[in-house]
Amino acid sequence: MSIQEQLLNIETEAVTKINAALTQVELNDLRAFYMGKKSPLGEIMKSMATLSIEDKKIIGKLANEVKVKIESAVTQRRAYLEQEEVNNRLKNETIDVTLPGKEFKVGTSHPLSKTIEEVEEIFMGMGYSIAEGPEVEVDLYNFEMLNVPKGHPARDMQDSFYITENLLMRTQTSPVQVRTLLEKKGAPVKILAPGKVYRRDDDDATHSHQFMQFEGLVVDKHITMSDLKGTLQLFVQKMFGDSRKIRFKPSYFPFTEPSVEVDVSCFKCGGKGCSMCKQSGWIEVLGAGMVHPNVLASAGYDPEVYRGFAFGIGIERVTMLRHGIDDIRNFYLNDSRFLEQFKGEN
C-alpha cells in the first residue's frame, strides 16, 4: 500500500469514527488520537524521511490536507453534538402550555364609574372642566337659586331628604351650576358636573334613593340653543355610535327655558322600533335647555348679556341601557359576580 493510500485510509477511518462519536468526551479522545504526536498520521510523517524531495512535497501536502479534513470533521461533529445537547435539554424541558396560568385577581372600575369616565373624556375633549360640589347642600343652591322657590310645584317632583330646614341631600347635580357661576363671577363657564344625588324613592328595579347624574353647563355671551343641539348630537354620537340621531321634545325644568327632553335614536334597532325603545325608535336619555334668566341673574350674570345651556343625564339609566342591565339595585349591591363582568371592558 502506498503512502498516499495509507493517508487516505487514515482519513476515511478518522472521519467515520468522528462522525460516529456520541459524546464530547469520545470526540475529544478521537481528536487526541488522530491529531496527537503518536497518531497514525504522525507515524507516516516520521517515515517520510526516506522519500525524495519531490515525493516529500506531494506527500506532505496530502498529509496536511488529511489533517485539515480530520480537524474540520471534529469541528462539525462538535457543533452537531452541542446542538444535540441543546435539543435534548429543550425536549426534556418541554411543558404543557395549555395548563392554566397563575390566577391573579383582576380588578375593575365600577360600571357607573366607567360611564362617568367615558362621558368626562368626551366632554373634556370639547373643552369642558370637571366641577364638583357638596352632596349635603343648602336649600338656596339646590332649589331657590335654580328658580324653584318654596311652594313651587317642581318641588313635588323631587321629594327630598332634608337634614335641617335649610340643609338637604342634593336632589340633583344642578346646584353645582349655581356654585360654579358664583365662583366664576361673570367669566365664561364650560363645565361637566358628575355626582351622587338623593331622592325619597323606595328602592326597586327602576328607582334608587341614591343615584348618579351628570350635569353640563355652558355660559357665555353668544350661546344659542343650536349650540346645545350640536353639542348633544356630538356627545350622543361619541357615546352611543356615529349613526345615532337626537330629537328634542318640549319639556319643563324650572332652571331652563326653553326646556327639552332629548331622545336618542334607538341603539338596538337603529330607529326601526324594537322592544328596547317600545317600538318608538327613540329612547329618552337627556334633559336639557337654555339656562333660565332667573338662574343667571341670581348668580350675578346679566341675562341680557349672557346666555347658556345646561343638560343632565341619569348615569344609571345610560349604563343600564348600554349594558342591558334590568335592575338598578345591581349597582349598589356590589355582588362580585356583577362587578367582575365588567373587568374585560377598557
Partner 1 sequence: MIVSYNWLKELINLNVSPEKLAEEMSLYSVEVETFNKMVKATNLVVGHVLECVDHPDSDHLHVCQVNLGERVDQIVCGAPNIAAGQKVIVALPGAVLPGGTIKNSKVRGVESNGMICSLQELGIENKYVPAIYQNGIYVLDNDATPGQDALEYLCFDDYLIELSLTPNRMDLMSMLGVAHDVSAMYNVPMNNLECSFTEVSKLASDEISVKLETEDCYSYYARIVKDVVIKESPKFIKARLIASGVRPINNVVDITNYVLMLFGQPLHSFDQDKLGNTIIVRNALDGEVLETLDDLERKLVSTDIVISDNLENNRAVCVAGVMGGKSTEVTLDTKNIVLESAVFKPLSVRKTSARLGLRSESSVRFERGVDLNRSLAAVDYACYLLEKYADGKVLKGYVHEGIKHLEDKEIHLTEKYVEEYLGINIPTVLIKEILEKLKFTVEVCGDDIKVLVPNRRLDIEIKQDLIEEIARMYGYDKLNETLPSMTVEGELTHAQHIRKVINKTLVGLGLSETVSYSLVSPKLSNMCKVLFSDDFKEIKLLHPMTEEHSILRRSIVPSLIDVIKYNNARKNYNVSIYEIAQQYGLENNEPKESYLLAGALQGVHSSTIWQGKKEVVDFYYVKGMLDVMFDKVGAQVKYAPLSVNCPELHPGRSAEIILNNELIGYLGELHPTLVKAEDIEPTYVFEVKLEPLFNIPSNVVLFKQISKVPSVERDLALVMDQNIAVGEVLNAIYRCDKNMIKKVSVFDIYVGDKIESGKKSVAVRITLESLDTLTDEVINQKMKKILNTLAYMYKIEIRK
> Rule CB under 8 A: which of 72-101 touch partner 1?
99-101
Whether a cis peptide bond, with omega within 30° of 0, leads into 194 is: no
- Is residue 341 at the binding interface for partner 1, with CB under 8 A as the rule? no
- Is residue 109 at the binding interface for partner 1, with CB under 8 A as the rule? yes
Task: Specify which residues 251 forms β-bridges with.
Answer: 259
Nearer to partner 1, 6 or 172 (CB): 172
Of 314, 287, 283, 310, the residue nearest 299 (C-alpha): 310
Q: What's the closest the beta carbon of residue 269 comes to partner 1, in angstroms?
A: 17
| Residue selected from 115, 259, 265, 298 as contacting partner 1 according to rule CB under 8 A | 259
From CA 271, how far away is CA 273, in angstroms rounded? 5
What residues numbered 305-334 form the site for partner 1, per CB under 8 A?
307, 331-334
Element (H, E) at 198: strand 189-198
Nearer to partner 1, 10 or 175 (CB): 175
What residues numbered 182-201 form the site for partner 1, per CB under 8 A?
188-190, 196, 198, 200
Nearer to partner 1, 37 or 102 (CB): 102
From CA 220, how far away is CA 317, in angstroms rounded? 30
Nearer to partner 1, 52 or 336 (CB): 336
Contacts of 279 (CB under 8 A, 6+ apart): 273
Secondary structure in 3-state letters for 234-272: HHHHHHHCCCCCEEEEEEEECCEEEEEEEEEECCCCCCC
- Is residue 166 at the binding interface for partner 1, with CB under 8 A as the rule? no
| Residue selected from 2, 98, 275, 336 as contacting partner 1 according to rule CB under 8 A | 336
Nearer to partner 1, 134 or 241 (CB): 134
Q: What's the closest the beta carbon of residue 253 comes to partner 1, in angstroms?
A: 8
